[in-house]
Structure formats: structure tokens, C-alpha cells
Amino acid sequence: MKTRILGQFNGGLEVSALGLGCMGLDFGYTHNGDVSQEAGAALLRGAVDHGITFFDTAEVYGPYTNETRVGAALAPVRDSVVIATKFGFRYEGGKNVGLDSRADSIHRAVDGSLKRLGTDYIDLLYQHRVDPSVPIEDVAGAVKELIEAGKVRHFGLSEAGVKTVRRAHAIQPVTALQMEYSLWFRDVETNGILATAEELGIGLVPYSPLGKGFLTGALSGASLPASDFRKALPRFADEAIQKNRALVELIQRVAATKRATPAQIALAWLLAQRPWVVPIPGTTKLQRLEENLGAAAVELSAAELAEIARAAAAIPIEGARYTPDQLARVGIDAPERTQP
């Protein structure tokens, strides 16, 4: 597995060219516990055996359970892997009840994450969502304290706006931005995020690089259980899925010419965008993990990338990626700091 460098702070963070999103082990896509402890651990260790060094989890996944599973599975190889986790929510009765990025909450969240992960440092700590009630300077300052204390090594932001990224970076250099990015969601190319990351030397970590599974061509709205969170997303409504299949068919045509799978083409396209883009596809099956890793061997020429871009631009995408409530939490800028 080739490696890439995220960010420039402290020499940057070297990770495998493809990471593994761990959320689906017990959150979002399945019932909690659908993937057994043994099967989840085997998948994570299998990922390590195949050269993956970059693993993504979060306090809110579960909440709490995902970090525990990831930490236990990776404990024997802790020194050779990079673990990213996230803070930014408040919990009552074990449930997420809203945003909370106050400094004391960040410190408390990190202490909890360290305990669950079974480690004494977090390689990459993201603010999961921007908290409009807390100036981003305060957030970055709290993370800077954690870095100085040795509990955290690198700072990241997830779904932040350009102004927030710049203001945070001025306080504590940002190593990575985790944003949704794929062939069917390309807002980072037009909202300034990609250009800002390039200017400031910040890595980009696309989550849902396979369009939450849609770009593999294996999904239909009817195939999703009612418990699956995608069932509530406008883009996964039956009518939207049917209209959006034109994009899947484009990827399938390219895959046929490259003797690859649609998933490999979707990931190879992302890898070709910038040398500091590191997708983190998730899966619960080792065979899918192996398939995804094959993307690193797929080379798309400039002419092929141009043809994909031309054809994709002609396909209108149906449906918003999130519900209105969820959209209100992404791509926003924190309020300016007010002077006392």
C-alpha cells in the first residue's frame, strides 16, 4: 500500500493512501451488534495485514462503542497505525442531544476517547461538526492545549466552512479536513474547501467516497432496511435512486474498460484528484475491503479523467444528500470571536 501525507504541521501525518471508515461496524448502517466483536476485530486486523494504517472512528458512533472496538482490535499494532477520532456532541442517557465544543467538554471527550481506545495519544482529532455557539478560536485553542500535553498529535475539522478553517488554522495548524466527497457529491470543488486546503497545505479525507454505497451499483431503495439511516435521506428515495443510476452506469462503463469494479473506479477517481486526498471507505466485509484496496492500482489517465468529468457534468443529480436538519450542521462557519 502506498502512503500519502496529510497536512504540513509537525512534518505532516503519513497514512496509507486509503483508510478505513469504522462507523459501519456498529452505527448508522446496521443494528448495534450486527457485526460481532470477533468479526469486527478480524476485519480491522485484516485491514492492517493488507497495508491500511489509517482508521477513522468517533465518540458519537454508538455512542462510545465504536472507539472501544477499534481500540481493542488495534491494540497489538498501535504503534504502527494512525487512529482518528472526533468530538463535538453532548450526551444524555447515552444519546446524542446536540452540539458541544466548549473547551472543558473537549478535554473531557478526549479523556474518554483515550480510555476507550486504550491508548495515551490520539493521532488525529477532529471537531465532528462546527458548534455555532463556540468561537472556533476557542476550539482550536483547546486542541492546541491537548497537543502540547501530548494527548493529541494532529488537529482536524469535519464539515467546516472556509472561514472557519482559516480561523482555526491561524490558532492551531489544521492537518486534515474530513468532508463528504465523491463522484456524486462534489461541493468541495466549488465551495472553496479544495482550494483552501491546497493553499494552506491541509490534507483532505473524503468520507462516503462510494456515495454511501450507491456508486458500487449494488443498492436500491427497496434493499435498505428501515433501520438504515440512508432510508431517510432524500438522495436515497426510490425515485431519486432511479434517476441517479445514470451516474452509476457511467462508472460501470469506465470500470468495464479498465477491468475494474465500479467501487475501484470511484475510489481511483478520488485518488487522482490530489496527492493529499485520502478516502476512507467503510465496509464490514473483508472481500469488499480487498476490492476497495484494488483502487490504488487503477490508474486513470488525464484523458480518462477529462472524459469522466465531461460525462458526469451532463448528469443531473436528484435529491439532497441530507435532510434539512442535517444540512443545517454541515458546511457552516462558526461565529466570529467577540472581544470582551
Whether 91 is catalytic is no
Catalytic residue among 61, 126, 181, 207: 61
How far is residue 266's CA from residue 249's CA, in Å, rounded to a whole number?
12
Strands 95-99 and 174-180: unpaired
List, in order, residues 6 or more apart from 286 with CB less than 8 Å away.
42, 43, 46
Query: How far is the C-alpha of 185 from the C-alpha of 196, rounded, in Å?
Result: 18
Give the Cα separation of 190 and 215 in Å (integer).
21
Q: In a 10 Å sphere around its CB, with 0-12 CB exposed, 13-18 middle and 19+ buried, how is residue 303 labelled?
A: exposed
- How many other C-beta atoms lie within 10 A of the C-beta of residue 318? 17
Q: Which distant-in-sequence residues (6+ apart) come within 8 Å of 11 by Cβ?
A: none
Which amino acid would we find at residue 191?
N
Grid coordinates belonging to 105:
467538554
Which residues have a catalytic role annotated? 61
